[in-house]
């Protein structure tokens, strides 16, 4: 019988959530996602240090540290695209999460670097935090053919704003929602009762019921139960530890998310504007806290990357 990873690939596009090239070769995902934390971790490993060293050697004398980081991100992305057949997600500096113009400018710089390397923009997703400013920037970028992956997503309000903006893909964070509710209530959640799982199902049903084409990619998993409950989601981005668990299990998986079932769901349409978005976020303590925390953490890792590169320079 097929293992769980093979079964999952029948229902869902599997994406590798890692900066580790060898893991990608082993698990053969369609796409790959990166973030500042993953790139920082990989950059400190001996087998990947040469990517940083090359960027510093080639550009360290004439470019600011910020520009060298962009070169490192693109160097990792270029290597990843030689392994996966699909797309790679590359993240904009989280410190620009409330700067629409800055986000647009940075995204264009990253795309230009990829295109200078001969990589077409259709294979790149620019990762941007799901703030109002980030979503507004991504909407404008999509109009110019630069496709985006809206990350740090924890609420239906964020998802609706992205769908109405014509964003290519969103990444609802299952595990971080689970973490918040577990800490807040003291309860353990499993299977369909997991609030992170329920959030992605709600978003998926909303998109499919109302005909939005934005892709839903569940992210930030804590266990394989969360993944199995979302079989049928458009995409799932999974860390290497959980990919290994799925590969080593022969238990059956069945499709849990389905467009036909979504059409019969009881979700109601909400017309999103900035006032509605900000009020819904204000009413959702979990989404507000986890979005802010994620931005802080990714910003901290960018600063660590800056120090790593500055020390090499």
- Catalytically annotated residue among 9, 78, 108, 127: 127
- Catalytic-residue membership of 127: yes
Spatial CA neighbour of 147 closest among 133, 131, 127, 171: 127
Is the Cβ–Cβ distance between 202 and 156 less than 8 Å?
yes
CA distances from 38 to 45, 60, 91, 200, 201 (A): 11, 22, 11, 23, 26
Q: What share of the chain is helix, strand, coil (3-state, %, to 5)?
A: 60, 10, 30
Structure tokens at 25: 């070769």
What gap in Å lies between CA 2 and CA 217, rounded to an integer? 23
Structure tokens at 142: 């999509």
Distant-in-sequence, close-in-space partners of 244: CB < 8 Å, separation ≥ 6:
none
Q: CB 215: neighbour CB atoms within 10 A?
A: 18
Q: Which residues are catalytic?
A: 127
């Amino acid at each position: 019988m097929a293992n769980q990873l093979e079964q999952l690939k029948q229902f869902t596009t599997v994406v590798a959530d890692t900066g580790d090239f060898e893991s990608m070769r082993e698990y053969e995902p369609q796409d790959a996602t990166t973030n500042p934390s993953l790139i920082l971790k990989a950059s400190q490993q001996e087998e990947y240090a040469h990517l940083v060293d090359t960027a510093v050697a080639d550009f360290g004398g004439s470019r600011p540290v910020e520009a060298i980081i962009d070169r490192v991100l693109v160097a990792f992305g270029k290597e990843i695209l030689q392994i996966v057949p699909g797309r790679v997600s590359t993240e904009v500096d989280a410190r620009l999460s409330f700067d629409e113009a800055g986000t647009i400018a940075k995204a264009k710089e990253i795309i230009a670097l990829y295109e200078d390397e001969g990589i077409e923009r259709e294979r790149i997703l620019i990762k941007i935090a799901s703030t109002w400013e980030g979503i507004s920037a991504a909407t404008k970028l999509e109009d110019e053919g630069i496709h985006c992956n809206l990350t740090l997503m924890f609420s239906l309000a964020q998802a609706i704003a992205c769908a109405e903006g014509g964003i290519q893909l969103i990444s609802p964070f299952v595990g971080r929602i689970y973490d918040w509710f577990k800490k807040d209530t003291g309860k353990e959640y499993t299977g369909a009762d997991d609030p992170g799982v329920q959030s992605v199902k709600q978003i998926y049903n909303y998109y499919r019921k109302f005909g939005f084409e934005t892709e839903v990619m569940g992210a930030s998993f804590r266990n394989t139960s969360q993944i199995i409950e979302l079989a049928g989601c458009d995409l799932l981005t999974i860390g290497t530890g959980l990919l290994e668990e799925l590969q080593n299990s022969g238990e059956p998986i069945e499709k849990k998310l389905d467009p036909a079932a979504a059409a019969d769901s009881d979700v109601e349409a909400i017309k999103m504007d900035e006032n509605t978005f900000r009020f819904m976020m204000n009413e959702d303590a979990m989404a507000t806290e986890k979005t802010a925390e994620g931005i802080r953490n990714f910003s901290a890792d960018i600063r660590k990357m800056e120090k790593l590169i500055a020390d090499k320079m």
